[in-house]
Structure 1
Amino acid sequence: MQLDTRRSFLQASLLTGFALAVQPVMASTIQTDAAGLDTGWVKIGELPAFQARPNNASGPLPTIIVIQEIFGVHEHIQDLCRRLAKLGYLAIAPELFFRQGDPRTFTDVNLLIKELVSQVPDAQVMKDLDAVAAWAAQNGGDPARLAVTGFCWGGRITWLYAAHNPKVAASAAWYGRLTGAPSANNPVHPVDIAKQLKSPVLGLYAGKDQGISLESVEQMRQALKRQAQPFKLVIYDEAGHGFNADYRPNFHPAAAQDGWKTMLAWFKQFGV
């Protein structure tokens, strides 16, 4: 991607709004205000990232890296950052597809996956997340209280990053794919690296998920039993994939609310 294209992407990212592929959004969409918060876009090297933190915070803040869905850091992901900042966290969400393109501009989900998402190498993502963690530690975050959470595509990445970075204190993966065929960009999947986890991971899954089978969740559970890190897998029987996405028809309020509380308790349990 040329430098001017990157600059255009950052300028576009400064605007709020939802990705084209998910519009129109549902009336259930949650909108969190920025009162009492410092929010906005930063650049980590060339990587754009949205950050939110409480105003006038004293001392280093517990930090949560928020990993996007396939739709990028659109309004929903920004809102999740604001929700976490209201609770006292430094929340930061990097645009991890930045080098390959802008997911907001796609109107067709299948085309988005084929032409953009599948082109993003896991190794690139791990390196970018390392840069985000380092930036947070140098910009008001507490490196000893670092957590990661991710949704859908970001849920899978959350598992991988928990096996990659020993400095992460705890993670929460929301309906992230666990198994799959290896490829050049995705050589391993969470079930393949379960024994390599370096910190506790919470997995939040849906009983009616059409893309992530309960069999694969059970396969992951068995793999996790053969490693030393604490883990917890929660299945919401009546929910479908993306149950926390309040802007989409598959939003399941009860599962979303319980998952959010469970995630926060998980982070507190491990000091974040």
Structure 2
Amino acid sequence: MSDTSERNQAVQIPQEAFDWYDAYAHGGMDRRTFMRKLGTLVAVGYSMSVLTSALLPNYALAEQVSFNDEDIIARYEVFDSPAGYGKGKGYLVKPATGAGRYPAVLVIHENRGLNPYVKDVARRLAKAGFLAFAPDALFPVGGYPGNDDEGRALQRELDKSKVQNDFVAAAKHLKSHALGNGKLGAVGFCFGGYMVNYLAAVDSDLLAAGVPFYGTPAPKALRNNIKAPLLVQLGELDERVNKTWPEYEQDLQANHVEYHMFMYQGAHHGFHNDSTSRFDKASAELAWQRTLAFFTKKLA
């Protein structure tokens, strides 16, 4: 069976399979338990290949902008992070035309390091005219290891406060970059969505715009600091993250923060990630159009 047909069939799998994967991906279930639960669906007639195609990434499916696309120029940059792990490293992508002064966007990965999907997101931003920088939280332990399971395990072992400080340092590095225009946006997914919320809260002057995709809020004690406008992107079926939204929205309203929240009907956690069948093409494309328009308006 082809990847495409398997991904189409996977739409029909039960919602609990997506819930199990979410628990597994975020530390609430070990791999053995996750696979055992999937086995209960195989026992009632589902194909394991269809299930894993739906839930586990195939990064060959996710490339929308090639690394050698003639409209972009990509390289890696190291930055200082004295309050974090000392040094950080990220993937910097700029438009091929122009000498600089681009609006800048920090791109923040999920809880598994800088995988190919997030690097592609950075390239998409550069192709749209932005200076994009995607740090790898796993740089202190050798970088993204090539698969998500190992990446999750490595990121789970890191000191959370140091990781957060590394992203603050990355944001400051990009905001002051010689190729940037001095205005900084941030977009992130899952853990990266949390980090966008955190960056907006930890330093009121750091971001000019933030787009958290299915990310939990910053700690409540920091939320009074938020000044940056936010474009919050949520999937209707993402019960874990969505239950944090009402309280967060109350705090944003109380602090008179400009925000827009879009709830994408029938969409799962991870709906923008086109490497699995959790990808919702219509929702992802609409969310991305809104993201580009938001950054264009706020970072000009």
The structural deviation recorded for 1:192 is 4.8
The structural deviation recorded for 1:81 is 0.8
Query: Which of 215, 219, 225 is the equivalent residue of 1:196?
Result: 225
Q: Which residue of 2 aligns with 1:38?
A: 73
Q: Which residue of 2 aligns with 1:148?
A: 186
**Aligned structure 1 segments of 4 or more residues deviating by more than 4 angstroms:** 100-103
Distance 2:227 2:129 in 1: 25
User: Which residue identity does 1:119 align to in structure 2?
Assistant: E
Distance 1:246 1:216 in 2: 25
Gaps of 5+ in 2: 1-54, 81-86
Q: Which residue of 1 aligns with 2:15?
A: none
Query: Which of 267, 292, 296 is the equivalent residue of 1:264?
Result: 292
- Kindly indicate whether residue 251 of structure 2 is the aligned counterpart of residue 223 of structure 1: yes
Distance 1:74 1:107 in 2: 8
Matches within 5 A, 1:1-272: 22-25=56-59, 27=61, 29-33=62-66, 34-45=69-80, 46-100=87-141, 102-105=143-146, 108=149, 113=152, 115-136=153-174, 137-143=176-182, 145-165=183-203, 166-178=205-217, 189-212=218-241, 214-272=242-300
What secondary structure, in the 3-state scheme, does the structure 2 residue paired with 1:244 have? coil
How large is the Cα RMSD of the aligned pairs? 2.3
Distance 1:223 1:71 in 2: 29
Q: Deviations over 1:140-172 (max 9, x none)?
A: 1122x2101111110001100011231310010
Q: Work out whether residues 213 and 232 of structure 2, in 8 Å CA contact, stay in contact via their aligned partners in 1.
A: yes
Gaps of 5+ in 1: 1-20, 179-188
The structural deviation recorded for 1:103 is 4.4
Distance 1:107 1:238 in 2: 25
The structural deviation recorded for 1:37 is 1.3
Percent sequence identity is: 25
Q: Work out whether residues 26 and 249 of structure 1, in 8 Å CA contact, stay in contact via their aligned partners in 2.
A: no
User: Which residue identity does 1:60 align to in structure 2?
Assistant: R
What secondary structure, in the 3-state scheme, does the structure 1 residue paired with 2:254 have? coil
Distance 2:148 2:170 in 1: 29
Aligned residues: 236
